Copies of this chain bind each other. A is one copy, B any other.
Amino acid sequence: MKHYKIAVLAGDGIGPEITREALKVLKLIEERNDVSFELMPAAFGACAYFATGDAFPQATIDICDQADAILKGPIGLSHEESKKIPIDKQPERGALLPMRRRYNTYANFRPVSLPKALAHFSPLKAEIIGEGIDLVIVRELVGGLYFGQKESGINEQGLRYVKETLEYDELQIRRIMHQAFKLASKRRKLLHNIHKSNVLKSSVLWNEVMEEVAVEYPDVTVYNMLVDSAATALCLNPTQFDVMVMENMFGDILSDQGGGILGSLGLMPSACIGDDKAYYEPSHGSAPDIAGKNIANPYSMIGSVAMMLENSFDMADEAKNVWAAMQAVFSDGYSTADLSKAGSGVTMISTEQFGDKVVEKL
């Protein structure tokens, strides 16, 4: 029997309630497979900061270090609440970025997927969605502006200023390109390389390395697209895309636009993969406004479990079953209040009921 240790970081806001549902799914998978999951819960994010003075406390680091995979809920506070924590201790700078850096999870996979049957969730017209949206954003996750040096102070004219750096070297670019090309090879063999080479020199290097890597994947067709054009195209014609690769900040913005075209960030799970460790998280924030109300859809968290099953535990078939179970719950006409409006023809269920129904389908 295989045995896996999973660090479970429920996070802030809606984190605990959607994590609870995801764990129900994990439990079922465990029961019917020759596998055991050892769950190791740990504090992470604003909740950890308030409890220990540290958003990523040493005890949590130890647990994550030992884990075979990490399941992480959303973290963070509202704009106003955030101000109560010193800037460098805030959950993003104090926990999330250190986690990404520590485990060097450079490849972030963010599926933006909406089967035709769920087109009603989307703000886009049915004719734009056609047979469904099914693309993956491959975001570089440990470089660029996020991790560059930062300098601030008073300049010669006596003015406050901030200077931050965006840095990439060829190795950082090459490894994310290989991830993107490999994924494209397994899918529609289309890769959109997103850049801003008409302004950024880092994009010039990015494109150079892309071309070098491309020769190793002759069956993949590459389209080069400026990041601004991509933002237009994601609204006008999202079905043209299959795999899109881009640097960190571009990936942050365009993947949230991806959530926008689906109808909700609640439909956005993700996998953050390094050479030795991977963690799985929803792409969205902790939604403090709806926390504790039992209305947040656990799709993104259960989807993150599916990505964990496939990537970390080599259980691609069970992963497929999980996706299918979630689609089936939607197809049966059920939804949650964060995704759908009352009176839109769906039967409104709670976070908990959604999790239960997914388990039933499974």
Contact = CB atoms under 8 A, between A and B. Distances in A.
Interface of A: 76, 79, 82, 87, 90, 92-93, 97, 123-125, 128, 145-146, 148, 150, 152, 155, 157, 159-171, 196, 198-202, 204-205, 208-209, 224, 227-229, 231-236, 249-250, 252-257, 259-261, 263-265, 285
A96 to B, nearest CB: 9
A342 to B, nearest CB: 15
> 9 closest Cβ contacts across the A-B interface?
A235-B260, A228-B256, A161-B169, A92-B198, A231-B257, A232-B260, A159-B169, A162-B202, A160-B170
A280 B274 CA distance: 46
Contact of A205 (B123, B162, B208): B162
Given A125-B124, A125-B125, A163-B167, A199 B253 contact: no
Contact of A236 (B128, B227, B260): B260
A190 to B, nearest CB: 16
Contact of A260 (B146, B162, B171, B234): B234
22 contacts: A123-B235, A123-B236, A159-B171, A160-B170, A160-B205, A161-B167, A161-B168, A161-B169, A162-B204, A163-B166, A164-B165, A164-B166, A164-B200, A164-B201, A164-B202, A228-B252, A229-B256, A233-B260, A234-B260, A236-B264, A249-B249, A250-B253
Nearest to A170: B160
Given A123-B124, A235-B235, A170 B165 contact: no
B285 A261 contact: no
A231 B263 CA distance: 12
A254 B265 CA distance: 17
Contacts of A124: 123-125, 235
A91 to B, nearest CB: 8
Contacts of A125: 123-125
B166 A165 contact: yes
B163 A285 contact: no
Given A125-B125, A229-B285, A257-B231, A198 B161 contact: no
A1 to B, nearest CB: 41
Given A231-B253, A250-B253, 14 more contacts: A82-B198, A92-B199, A97-B199, A123-B235, A148-B163, A160-B170, A163-B165, A163-B202, A165-B166, A227-B252, A228-B256, A232-B259, A234-B257, A234-B260
Contacts of A93: 198-199
A92 B253 CA distance: 23
A32 to B, nearest CB: 36
Nearest to A284: B232
A204 B161 CA distance: 11
Contacts of A168: 161-162
Contacts of A76: 198
